[in-house]
Amino acid sequence: MLTFENEARLAGFRWVIGIDEAGRGPLAGPVVASAVLLRNTSFENKINDSKKMTERQRERAFFEIFDNAYVGIGVMSEAVIDSKNILQATFLAMASAVRQLVITLPQDVTGVPNFDRHVLLLIDGPHFKTDLSYAFRPIIDGDAKSLSIACSSIVAKVYRDRLLQTYDSIYPQYGFKTHKGYPTASHRKAIFENGLSPIHRRTFQVKPI
Protein backbone atom coordinates (compact mmCIF):
# COMPACT_ATOMS: atom_id res chain seq x y z
CA MET A 1 0.00 0.00 0.00
CA LEU A 2 2.98 2.30 -0.47
CA THR A 3 2.89 2.56 -4.27
CA PHE A 4 1.50 6.09 -4.33
CA GLU A 5 3.80 7.26 -1.55
CA ASN A 6 6.83 5.85 -3.34
CA GLU A 7 5.78 7.38 -6.65
CA ALA A 8 5.43 10.75 -4.95
CA ARG A 9 8.93 10.59 -3.53
CA LEU A 10 10.36 9.55 -6.88
CA ALA A 11 8.67 12.64 -8.30
CA GLY A 12 10.54 14.81 -5.82
CA PHE A 13 8.04 15.22 -2.98
CA ARG A 14 9.59 14.85 0.47
CA TRP A 15 6.42 14.78 2.55
CA VAL A 16 3.32 12.81 1.54
CA ILE A 17 0.11 13.37 3.46
CA GLY A 18 -2.86 11.01 3.21
CA ILE A 19 -6.34 12.49 3.69
CA ASP A 20 -9.76 10.91 4.16
CA GLU A 21 -13.06 11.71 5.81
CA ALA A 22 -15.84 10.08 7.78
CA GLY A 23 -19.45 11.16 7.98
CA ARG A 24 -20.59 12.26 4.54
CA GLY A 25 -23.68 10.06 4.54
CA PRO A 26 -25.21 10.45 8.03
CA LEU A 27 -28.30 12.47 8.84
CA ALA A 28 -26.70 13.92 11.97
CA GLY A 29 -23.39 15.06 13.33
CA PRO A 30 -20.30 16.59 11.73
CA VAL A 31 -18.12 15.46 8.88
CA VAL A 32 -14.62 14.68 10.13
CA ALA A 33 -11.43 14.58 8.08
CA SER A 34 -7.98 13.39 9.03
CA ALA A 35 -4.57 14.09 7.53
CA VAL A 36 -1.70 11.70 8.22
CA LEU A 37 2.01 12.10 7.48
CA LEU A 38 3.71 8.80 8.26
CA ARG A 39 7.00 8.78 10.18
CA ASN A 40 7.11 4.99 10.13
CA THR A 41 5.42 2.59 7.69
CA SER A 42 5.70 -0.60 9.79
CA PHE A 43 2.61 -1.37 11.86
CA GLU A 44 1.85 -4.21 14.23
CA ASN A 45 -1.88 -3.67 13.90
CA LYS A 46 -3.95 -4.15 10.78
CA ILE A 47 -4.19 -1.03 8.61
CA ASN A 48 -6.84 -0.96 5.91
CA ASP A 49 -9.88 0.93 4.69
CA SER A 50 -11.64 1.64 8.00
CA LYS A 51 -14.93 0.29 6.61
CA LYS A 52 -13.28 -3.13 6.24
CA MET A 53 -12.14 -3.22 9.86
CA THR A 54 -13.93 -4.04 13.09
CA GLU A 55 -14.37 -1.40 15.76
CA ARG A 56 -11.78 -3.16 17.92
CA GLN A 57 -9.27 -3.26 15.07
CA ARG A 58 -9.78 0.44 14.38
CA GLU A 59 -9.31 1.38 18.03
CA ARG A 60 -6.04 -0.54 18.26
CA ALA A 61 -4.75 0.93 15.00
CA PHE A 62 -5.81 4.44 16.05
CA PHE A 63 -3.30 4.60 18.90
CA GLU A 64 -0.49 3.08 16.85
CA ILE A 65 -1.05 5.60 14.05
CA PHE A 66 -0.52 8.46 16.48
CA ASP A 67 2.70 6.78 17.58
CA ASN A 68 3.93 6.48 13.99
CA ALA A 69 2.72 9.65 12.30
CA TYR A 70 1.96 13.34 12.45
CA VAL A 71 -1.83 13.67 12.50
CA GLY A 72 -4.27 16.50 11.90
CA ILE A 73 -8.06 16.41 12.36
CA GLY A 74 -10.64 18.75 10.83
CA VAL A 75 -14.29 18.92 11.86
CA MET A 76 -17.13 20.70 10.09
CA SER A 77 -20.41 20.87 11.96
CA GLU A 78 -23.89 20.12 10.69
CA ALA A 79 -24.44 23.90 10.48
CA VAL A 80 -21.54 24.23 8.03
CA ILE A 81 -22.81 21.21 6.10
CA ASP A 82 -26.25 22.80 5.77
CA SER A 83 -24.87 26.16 4.70
CA LYS A 84 -22.12 24.98 2.32
CA ASN A 85 -23.38 21.48 1.26
CA ILE A 86 -21.73 18.22 2.27
CA LEU A 87 -19.12 18.17 -0.49
CA GLN A 88 -17.81 21.65 0.24
CA ALA A 89 -17.92 20.97 3.99
CA THR A 90 -15.85 17.83 3.38
CA PHE A 91 -13.24 19.81 1.45
CA LEU A 92 -13.11 22.38 4.26
CA ALA A 93 -12.65 19.64 6.86
CA MET A 94 -9.82 18.14 4.82
CA ALA A 95 -8.07 21.50 4.49
CA SER A 96 -8.51 22.12 8.21
CA ALA A 97 -6.96 18.73 8.98
CA VAL A 98 -3.93 19.54 6.82
CA ARG A 99 -3.44 22.92 8.48
CA GLN A 100 -3.62 21.34 11.92
CA LEU A 101 -1.09 18.69 10.91
CA VAL A 102 1.37 21.25 9.52
CA ILE A 103 1.27 23.17 12.80
CA THR A 104 2.56 20.06 14.58
CA LEU A 105 5.55 19.57 12.27
CA PRO A 106 9.03 20.38 13.57
CA GLN A 107 10.58 23.67 12.53
CA ASP A 108 13.35 21.85 10.67
CA VAL A 109 10.64 20.50 8.35
CA THR A 110 8.45 23.54 7.78
CA GLY A 111 11.53 25.77 7.67
CA VAL A 112 12.89 24.03 4.60
CA PRO A 113 13.07 26.45 1.63
CA ASN A 114 9.99 26.13 -0.58
CA PHE A 115 8.42 23.73 1.93
CA ASP A 116 5.05 23.91 0.16
CA ARG A 117 6.52 22.59 -3.08
CA HIS A 118 7.81 19.48 -1.34
CA VAL A 119 4.39 18.41 -0.04
CA LEU A 120 1.91 16.16 -1.83
CA LEU A 121 -1.59 15.46 -0.56
CA LEU A 122 -3.08 12.07 -1.41
CA ILE A 123 -6.86 12.48 -1.30
CA ASP A 124 -9.37 9.66 -1.03
CA GLY A 125 -11.95 10.19 -3.76
CA PRO A 126 -12.26 11.33 -7.36
CA HIS A 127 -11.66 15.05 -6.82
CA PHE A 128 -10.64 17.77 -4.40
CA LYS A 129 -10.93 21.53 -4.24
CA THR A 130 -8.94 23.73 -1.91
CA ASP A 131 -7.09 26.99 -1.44
CA LEU A 132 -4.15 25.15 0.11
CA SER A 133 -0.87 25.76 -1.71
CA TYR A 134 0.17 22.11 -1.81
CA ALA A 135 0.01 19.77 -4.81
CA PHE A 136 -2.60 17.05 -4.48
CA ARG A 137 -3.60 13.78 -6.11
CA PRO A 138 -7.13 12.38 -5.78
CA ILE A 139 -7.26 8.58 -5.68
CA ILE A 140 -10.50 6.64 -6.10
CA ASP A 141 -10.73 4.01 -3.34
CA GLY A 142 -7.54 5.47 -1.96
CA ASP A 143 -8.26 4.14 1.53
CA ALA A 144 -7.70 0.62 0.14
CA LYS A 145 -4.65 1.55 -1.98
CA SER A 146 -2.55 3.95 0.07
CA LEU A 147 -1.22 3.33 3.58
CA SER A 148 -1.31 7.05 4.38
CA ILE A 149 -4.94 7.38 3.30
CA ALA A 150 -5.92 4.15 5.09
CA CYS A 151 -4.46 5.55 8.29
CA SER A 152 -6.36 8.80 7.84
CA SER A 153 -9.59 6.88 7.23
CA ILE A 154 -9.13 5.05 10.54
CA VAL A 155 -8.39 8.23 12.49
CA ALA A 156 -11.37 10.07 11.02
CA LYS A 157 -13.73 7.15 11.65
CA VAL A 158 -12.66 6.54 15.25
CA TYR A 159 -12.68 10.25 16.09
CA ARG A 160 -16.16 10.75 14.63
CA ASP A 161 -17.55 7.63 16.29
CA ARG A 162 -16.35 8.94 19.63
CA LEU A 163 -18.09 12.26 19.00
CA LEU A 164 -21.36 10.48 18.27
CA GLN A 165 -21.02 8.39 21.42
CA THR A 166 -20.80 11.65 23.34
CA TYR A 167 -23.88 12.98 21.54
CA ASP A 168 -25.68 9.78 22.51
CA SER A 169 -25.38 10.73 26.17
CA ILE A 170 -26.91 14.13 25.40
CA TYR A 171 -29.66 12.90 23.07
CA PRO A 172 -30.22 9.26 24.15
CA GLN A 173 -33.57 8.97 22.37
CA TYR A 174 -31.91 8.81 18.94
CA GLY A 175 -29.49 5.92 19.45
CA PHE A 176 -26.43 7.74 18.09
CA LYS A 177 -24.12 5.31 19.91
CA THR A 178 -25.41 2.50 17.73
CA HIS A 179 -25.88 3.99 14.24
CA LYS A 180 -23.51 6.98 14.50
CA GLY A 181 -26.03 9.21 12.74
CA TYR A 182 -26.44 7.07 9.62
CA PRO A 183 -29.97 6.69 8.16
CA THR A 184 -30.84 3.30 9.64
CA ALA A 185 -34.47 2.31 10.14
CA SER A 186 -34.17 2.79 13.90
CA HIS A 187 -32.66 6.25 13.43
CA ARG A 188 -35.36 7.36 11.00
CA LYS A 189 -38.02 6.00 13.37
CA ALA A 190 -36.52 8.02 16.23
CA ILE A 191 -36.59 11.17 14.10
CA PHE A 192 -40.25 10.72 13.21
CA GLU A 193 -41.07 10.13 16.87
CA ASN A 194 -38.92 12.88 18.40
CA GLY A 195 -38.30 15.38 15.63
CA LEU A 196 -34.85 16.68 14.74
CA SER A 197 -32.19 17.23 17.37
CA PRO A 198 -29.81 20.22 17.29
CA ILE A 199 -27.13 18.08 15.61
CA HIS A 200 -29.33 16.84 12.74
CA ARG A 201 -28.61 18.12 9.24
CA ARG A 202 -31.61 20.14 8.10
CA THR A 203 -30.82 19.83 4.38
CA PHE A 204 -30.70 16.03 4.39
CA GLN A 205 -33.90 14.22 3.42
CA VAL A 206 -35.24 11.67 5.89
CA LYS A 207 -36.90 8.90 3.91
CA PRO A 208 -40.05 7.25 5.32
CA ILE A 209 -39.57 4.04 7.22
Is pLDDT of 63 > 80? Answer: yes
Radius of gyration over every alpha carbon of the chain, rounded to an integer in angstroms: 18
pLDDT of residue 208: 83
CA–CA separation, 152 and 172 (whole Å): 29
Task: Compute how many other C-beta atoms are within 10 angstroms of the C-beta atom of residue 185.
Answer: 10
CATH 3.40.50.300 assigned to 3-163: no
Domain ranges of the chain: 3-163
User: What separation in angstroms does the CA of 70 have from each of 53, 83, 165, 176, 188?
Assistant: 22, 31, 25, 29, 38
Are 175 and 187 in contact by the 8 Å Cβ rule? The answer is: yes
Tens-place pLDDT, residues 154-193: 999 999 999 999 999 999 999 999 999 999 999 999 999 9
CA 86 to chain centre: 13
Please give the helix or strand (H or E) that residue 74 lies within, else none.
Answer: strand 69-76
Mean pLDDT, residues 27-44 taken together = 97
Tens-place pLDDT, residues 137-153: 999 999 999 999 999 99
CA 85 to chain centre: 17
Are 128 and 110 in contact by the 8 Å Cβ rule? The answer is: no
